[in-house]
């Protein structure tokens, strides 16, 4: 391979996929040196972007931790903990989704792991945001390996993560049998509640996608009448679920009180027997 083509393929030390290498080989000679210059600039831009967003994420993690400490001492601060990136985004005039991604980036990857990401030829910020949606370190590691070795595009990565998690979800959604006793029923209820709370943290509170912030900027949408109707029905479903959750909470409080009274009666009876 001619020396100038080698130079064109070696920008920022990243391996070029074969399909792009083929284009470079057949590029007119005057363009090859300019491709090399642009490639180096783009490579540095991608690397600096990842570093910048990671450092922003570290700052947001520190801010969130401080808000948690304040919440332990001051009533009313709890609501600001998870909304920290959204509040900051509004003050800075930037996308709150970006800041949520930055915080998730810093929470998910160590500095050493970020250095590894910087060396992956196909890696971009969009790749990183898709990797952050993968449930579990093992799946993220497998998907990263595919990006590294097969130069997956962002679209390919997003689709494959979706397929993998859809398979896992279909297995976990199998119907359980009826619980044998109240203790087992409560264990199952606690497990399902944790799953729902995790989903709400990811979607409603903005860990992965802040739907509240998106809905409040509805003028940015370009939706059909049918889609608006589906959106309205989805919100209505959430409202009904919230109301049912409130009634369930009242029932649980009442039951806890009744159980506490039973325990007191049982303890008094045991003392009398002694």
Domain boundaries, the chain: 1-110, 120-174, 222-274
Give the pLDDT of residue 198. 67
Going by the DSSP 8-state scheme, the letter that residue 175 receives in this structure is: P
Give the pLDDT of residue 8. 38
Give the pLDDT of residue 175. 61
Element (H, E) at 102: helix 96-108
Give the pLDDT of residue 258. 78
Give the pLDDT of residue 30. 75
The token duo for 15 is 């391996």
Going by the DSSP 8-state scheme, the letter that residue 254 receives in this structure is: H
The b-or-e profile of 57-70 (16+ CB within 10 A means b, else e) is bbebbebbeebeee
Angle at 212 between CA 215 and CA 71, to 5 degrees: 160
Low-confidence stretches of the chain (pLDDT beneath 70): 1-22, 24, 26, 71-82, 168-178, 194, 197-229, 242, 244-245, 248, 252, 274
Give the pLDDT of residue 58. 95
List, for residues 78-98, the tens digit of each pLDDT value: 556 667 888 888 888 888 888
Nearest to 84 by CA among 105, 60, 52, 102: 60
Give the pLDDT of residue 18. 61
List, for residues 2-29, the tens digit of each pLDDT value: 444 344 333 334 555 566 666 767 677 7
Give the pLDDT of residue 122. 83
> Model-level pTM?
0.55
Give the pLDDT of residue 11. 38
């Amino acid at each position: 391979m001619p020396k100038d083509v080698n130079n064109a393929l070696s920008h920022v030390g990243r391996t070029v996929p074969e399909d792009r290498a083929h284009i470079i080989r057949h590029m007119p000679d005057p363009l090859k040196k300019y491709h090399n210059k642009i490639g180096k600039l783009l490579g540095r831009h991608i690397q600096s972007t990842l570093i910048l967003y990671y450092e922003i994420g570290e700052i947001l993690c520190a801010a969130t931790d401080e808000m948690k400490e304040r919440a332990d001492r001051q009533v009313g601060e709890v609501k600001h903990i998870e909304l920290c990136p959204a509040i900051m985004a509004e003050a800075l005039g930037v996308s709150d989704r970006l800041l949520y991604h930055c915080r998730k980036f810093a929470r998910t990857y160590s500095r050493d792991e970020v250095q590894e990401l910087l060396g992956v030829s196909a890696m971009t910020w969009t790749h990183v945001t898709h990797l952050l949606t993968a449930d579990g370190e093992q799946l993220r590691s497998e998907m990263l390996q595919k990006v590294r070795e097969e130069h997956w595009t962002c679209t390919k990565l997003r689709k494959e993560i979706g397929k993998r998690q859809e398979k896992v979800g279909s297995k976990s959604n199998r119907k359980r049998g009826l619980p044998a006793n109240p203790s087992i029923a409560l264990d199952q209820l606690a497990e399902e509640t944790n799953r729902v709370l995790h989903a709400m943290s990811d979607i409603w509170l903005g860990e992965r996608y802040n739907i509240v912030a998106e809905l409040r900027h509805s003028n940015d949408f370009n939706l059909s009448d049918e889609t608006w109707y589906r959106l309205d029905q989805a919100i209505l479903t959430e409202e009904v679920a919230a109301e049912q959750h409130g009634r369930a909470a009242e029932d649980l409080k009442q039951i806890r009180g009744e159980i506490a009274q039973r325990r007191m009666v049982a303890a008094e009876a045991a003392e009398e027997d002694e």
